[in-house]
């Protein structure tokens, strides 16, 4: 029996969503075990993940409420958002000052967020991270039996839990083992990601430019650290979308050729610019699970849904899962209920489904609408941008949505404890 670990919640996957969920649950006294195939040290290496994530205002409130945000060492406030369509003179400009003093959110390097998560683990000595370690099998028993689920790990140990959470990404083995089907397709686009230095400051403005090949996003980052008394260079993260063949050709260029291609799309309003560090690329696709729960099982983050990065909301969608599931589990425990029972999990799914389906559909439509150079569509979308810019109520709604501040929010997203 010494080889069986007993816990309330077992989370499979220690990525951005999985570790955040573990910290949210632990901060509310829920005994939790995380099992992750990746070595935690490997996830902190600079070459592991070059992406930068937009943390919406509501998501940041949650991270602060669970004690994670204080460990984030670098975060660039996003004060304004500017959306434009190629060479069109029409655009949408979102100014945070219209809504108050808070920014729309923060831009944080994924590497920095992982560092913060691992530092925050030390705040919860009872929180157990088993890594690098795989899950060999999951036995969830029969509905109505009252028996807990049991995970068999790659080293032979077993974990007994009232609730198993699949946070193991788009290719989720936990989801597949449960027989949960998905709707998915590829966009025939590759996202090129890199960090750029530039001569002039970005003033915290995030830019989304729609080009015929797809979105071209310039996301403000913190400046480089000062060296030898001189101020560090200004930096932005670039998310550059191209068809796979074209992306491969661009990535194969030497640094000079790559920067020349980049400058054609970047423009000259930031002055001189160059490349900082390596380049990464990611195939872009869509995924949505037919359901987010099963007997003693809940899915969060990319295991439940994966969307195009066109609106920068992928991680925020997963963090809203975290907030909703944490509230469902904590409330159930306070009522003396089993956190893995059907009505608790169905409540979580009902809470998350509408928001996820709507945002997934919107990002898919926007991707198809803006990733082309068809004249009638170009005219329609330009008129749409112009109308949103001029109609104050519509513009205010979209600004609040960018902050993650619309709909029935879980308490954590309001900055409150459950």
The residues facing 236 across adjacent strands are 196, 220
Q: Is residue 417 part of a domain?
A: no
In tens, the pLDDT along 25-35 reads 999 999 999 99
Whether the per-residue pLDDT at 2 is higher than 60: the answer is: no
What pLDDT band is residue 269 in, cutting at 50, 70 and 90?
A: confident
Residue 179 belongs to a domain = yes
Query: What's the farthest any 2 CA atoms get from each other in the chain?
Result: 69
Residues 197 and 178 in one domain: no
Alpha-carbon gap, residue 284 to 280, rounded angstroms? 13
What is the crossing angle of helices 244-251 and 255-266, to 10°? 130
Instruction: Say if residue 305 is in the same domain as residue 264.
Output: no
pLDDT band at 372 (very low <50, low <70, confident <90, very high): confident
The answer to whether 344 touches 297, Cβ cutoff 8 Å, is no
The first and second tokens of residue 88, run together, are 């069109």
Lowest mean pLDDT, pick from 64-68, 163-167, 389-393: 389-393
Supply the pLDDT for residue 1.
44
Q: What is the mean pLDDT of residues 310-326?
A: 94
Per-residue pLDDT for 227 more than 80?
no
- Please state the pTM of the whole predicted model: 0.94
User: What are 48's two structure tokens?
Assistant: 């592991």
392 vs 190, higher pLDDT: 190
Give yes or no: residues 276 and 357 share one domain: no
Q: Both tokens of residue 51?
A: 């992406």
Q: Does 413 map to a domain? A: no
User: How wide is the angle at C-alpha 409 spanned by C-alphas 406 and 411, nearest 5°?
Assistant: 145
In a domain, 332, yes or no: yes
Q: How far is CA 362 from CA 261, 281, 286, 310, in A?
A: 30, 24, 12, 10
pLDDT at 322 over 90: yes
- 256 and 299 part of one domain: no
Same domain, 304 and 249: no
Question: Domain check: are 34 and 92 in the same one?
Answer: yes
3-state secondary structure of 127: coil
What residues pair up with 56 in beta bridges, in sequence order?
Answer: 105
Ranking 33-47, 125-139, 365-379, 388-402 by mean pLDDT, the lowest is 365-379
What letter would DSSP give residue 230?
B
In a domain? residue 94: yes
Q: Is residue 227 part of a domain?
A: yes
416: in domain: no
- Within a domain: 415: no
Domain boundary at 259, 280, 301, which? Answer: 280
Q: How far apart are CA 224 and CA 276, in angstroms?
A: 10
CATH code for the domain in which residue 195 is found: 3.30.9.10
Binned at pLDDT 50, 70 and 90, residue 118 comes out as: very high
Same-domain check for residues 44 and 150: yes
| CATH assignment of the domain containing 381 | 3.50.50.60
pLDDT at 320: 97
| Positive/negative CA dihedral, 126, 127, 130, 131 | negative
Average pLDDT over residues 92-115: 95
Please state which of the ranges 79-88, 131-140, 202-211 shows the lowest mean pLDDT: 79-88
DSSP string, 383-398: HHHHHHHH-HHHHHHH
Task: Tell me how far apart the alpha carbons of residues 81 and 206 are, in angstroms, rounded to a whole number.
Answer: 5
- Cα 403 from chain centre: 14
Domain range for 78? 4-184+286-408
Q: Of 280, 298, 319, which closes a domain?
A: 280
Q: What is the mean pLDDT of the chain?
A: 92
Q: What is the tens place of the pLDDT at every residue in 4-15?
A: 999 999 999 999
Radius of gyration of the chain measured on its C-alpha atoms = 22
pLDDT tens track for 307-317: 999 888 999 99
Overall number of domains in the chain: 2
Q: Which of 75-79, 91-95, 388-392 has the lowest mean pLDDT?
A: 388-392
CA distance 159 to 182: 27
Of 261, 280, 299, the residue that ends a domain is: 280
**Residues 55-84: what's their mean pLDDT?**
96
Residues 48 and 105 placed together within one structural domain of the fold: yes
Judgement on whether residues 274 and 350 belong to the same structural domain of the protein: no
Place 101 in a pLDDT band, splitting at 50, 70 and 90: very high
User: Do 37 and 114 reside in the same domain of the chain?
Assistant: yes
Q: What is the per-residue pLDDT across 177-196, written as a single tens digit (0 to 9) for each?
A: 999 999 999 999 999 999 99
Same domain, 208 and 89: no
Are 131 and 118 in contact by the 8 Å Cβ rule? The answer is no
Give CA–CA dist 70/60, Å, rounded.
10
pLDDT at 230 over 70: no
Of 124 and 84, the structure prediction assigns the larger pLDDT to 124
CA angle 183, 184, 185 (to 5 degrees): 145
Instruction: Measure the CA–CA gap between 347 and 342, rounded to whole angstroms.
Output: 9
Same domain, 176 and 200: no
Cα 112 from Cα 117, distance rounded (Å): 9
């Amino acid at each position: 029996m010494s080889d069986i670990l007993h816990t309330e919640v077992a989370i499979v996957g220690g990525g951005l969503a999985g570790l955040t969920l573990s910290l949210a649950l632990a901060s509310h006294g829920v005994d939790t075990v995380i099992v992750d195939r990746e070595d935690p040290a490997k996830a902190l290496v600079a070459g592991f993940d070059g992406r930068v994530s937009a943390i919406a205002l509501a998501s940041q409130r949650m991270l602060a409420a669970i004690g994670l945000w204080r460990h984030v060492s670098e975060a660039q406030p996003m004060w304004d958002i500017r959306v434009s369509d190629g060479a069109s003179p029409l655009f949408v400009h979102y100014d945070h000052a219209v809504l108050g003093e808070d920014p729309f959110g923060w831009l944080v390097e994924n590497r920095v967020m992982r560092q913060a998560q691992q530092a925050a683990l030390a705040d919860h000595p009872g929180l157990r991270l088993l890594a690098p370690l795989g899950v060999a099998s999951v036995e969830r028993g029969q509905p109505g039996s009252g028996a807990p689920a049991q995970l068999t790990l790659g080293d032979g140990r077993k974990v007994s839990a009232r609730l198993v959470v699949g946070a193991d990404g788009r290719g989720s083995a936990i989801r597949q083992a449960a027989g949960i089907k998905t709707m998915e397709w590829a966009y025939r686009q590759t996202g090129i990601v890199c960090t750029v230095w530039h001569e002039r400051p970005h003033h915290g403005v995030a830019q989304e430019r729609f080009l015929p090949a797809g979105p071209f996003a310039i996301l403000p980052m913190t400046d480089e650290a000062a060296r030898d008394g001189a101020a560090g260079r200004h930096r932005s993260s670039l998310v550059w979308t191209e068809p796979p063949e074209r992306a491969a050709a661009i990535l194969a260029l030497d640094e000079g050729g790559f920067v020349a291609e980049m400058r054609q799309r970047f423009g000259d309003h930031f002055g001189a610019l160059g490349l900082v560090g390596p380049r990464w690329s990611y195939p872009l696709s869509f995924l949505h699970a037919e359901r987010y729960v099963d007997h003693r099982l809940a899915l969060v983050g990319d295991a439940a849904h994966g969307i195009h990065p066109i609106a920068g909301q992928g991680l925020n969608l997963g963090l809203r899962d975290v907030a909703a599931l944490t509230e469902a589990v904590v409330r159930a425990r306070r009522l003396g209920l089993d956190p893995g029972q059907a009505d608790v999990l169905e409540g979580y799914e009902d809470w998350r489904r509408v928001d996820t389906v709507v945002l997934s559909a919107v990002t898919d439509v926007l991707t198809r609408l803006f990733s082309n150079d068809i004249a009638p569509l170009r005219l329609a979308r330009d008129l749409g941008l112009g109308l949103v810019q001029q109609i104050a109520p519509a513009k205010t709604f979209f600004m609040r949505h960018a902050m993650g501040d619309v709909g029935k929010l879980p308490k954590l997203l309001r900055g409150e404890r459950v």
